[in-house]
């Protein structure tokens, strides 16, 4: 495997997954999405996120007017499905860690969806890395700083790219400015799926 691009401590594995591997991942996600359908979370300040999401694993990330947190079940009341083995194998490949994630956040970006600059800090132990897998349309990934404001850098993430956020980068602000809708044929109808693997508990 090629060495990752290092951008402000973010390890960006370009073309980590080839097209057949991406298709296998997508197939593995279908039963997860059927059991725990995508939903549009509320945000504490009111309104809803432009991305739709769901989760797999022992817990799932959740947001509503009461704040951001991990929940034991899908809003419908069903337990989150298990994280597919095909997804866990990506974690194994890029981290080499024996400890595996207990949560996989699944974000779906449709046309016009974005994700503002944020930190992933709702996990119990912030020393474990976060692994992000891109499937589908290209996304403009923005990397900020340890605090809000200041100079940022951006890179286009393509289908099959994997990003590892660990060490000093673990609490760096980051987000998705926009997607290049229709740039990939992986997802029927276009769009992007982002898988975020985390040790949450």
What is the residue-level pLDDT of the chain in tens, covering all 201 positions?
578 999 999 999 999 999 999 999 999 999 999 999 999 999 888 899 999 999 999 999 999 989 999 999 999 999 999 999 999 999 999 999 999 999 999 999 999 999 999 999 999 999 999 999 999 999 999 999 999 999 999 999 999 999 999 999 999 999 999 999 999 999 999 999 999 999 999
pLDDT of residue 79: 97
d(CA 117, CA 120): 10
- 8 Å CB contact between 137 and 159: yes
pLDDT of residue 199: 98
pLDDT of residue 120: 95
Alpha-carbon distances, residue 117 vs 52, 106, 109, 122, 145 (angstroms): 17, 18, 15, 15, 10
d(CA 11, CA 5): 6
d(CA 100, CA 92): 8
Q: What's the CATH number where 91 sits? A: 2.60.120.590
Structural domains of the chain, count: 1
d(CA 158, CA 115): 16
pLDDT of residue 1: 57
- 8 Å CB contact between 160 and 124: no
The model's pTM is: 0.96
d(CA 28, CA 109): 19
pLDDT of residue 3: 87
- Quick one: 99 exposed, middle or buried, by C-beta within 10 A (0-12, 13-18, 19+)? exposed
Rounded to 10°, the helix 19-35/85-95 angle is 130
Residue numbers of the domain that contains 33: 5-198
Q: According to DSSP H, which parts of the chain are helical?
A: 19-35, 85-95
Hey, CA dihedral for 27, 30, 31, 36, is it positive or negative?
Answer: positive
Hey, CA dihedral for 158, 165, 110, 61, is it positive or negative?
Answer: positive
| Six-digit token string for 11 | 């390890």
Sheet holding 192-198, edge to edge: 5-7, 10-13, 162-165, 130-136, 192-198, 103-109, 52-57
């Amino acid at each position: 495997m090629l060495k990752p691009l290092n951008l402000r401590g973010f390890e960006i594995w370009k073309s980590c997954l080839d097209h057949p591997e991406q298709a296998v991942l997508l197939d593995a996600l279908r039963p997860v999405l059927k059991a725990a359908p995508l939903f549009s979370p509320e945000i504490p300040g009111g309104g809803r996120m432009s991305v739709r999401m769901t989760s797999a694993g022992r817990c799932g990330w959740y947001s509503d007017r009461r704040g951001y947190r991990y929940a034991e079940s899908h809003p419908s009341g069903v337990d989150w499905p298990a994280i597919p083995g095909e997804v866990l194998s990506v974690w194994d490949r890029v981290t080499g860690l024996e400890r595996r994630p207990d949560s996989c956040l699944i974000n779906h970006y449709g046309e016009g969806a974005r994700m503002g600059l944020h930190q992933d800090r709702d996990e119990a132990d912030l020393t474990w890395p976060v692994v992000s897998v891109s499937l589908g349309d290209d996304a403009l990934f923005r990397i900020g700083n340890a605090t809000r404001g200041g100079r940022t850098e951006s890179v286009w993430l393509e289908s099959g790219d994997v990003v590892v956020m660990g060490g000093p980068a673990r609490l760096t602000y980051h987000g998705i400015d926009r997607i290049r809708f229709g740039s990939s044929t992986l997802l029927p109808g276009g769009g992007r799926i982002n898988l975020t693997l985390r040790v949450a508990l």
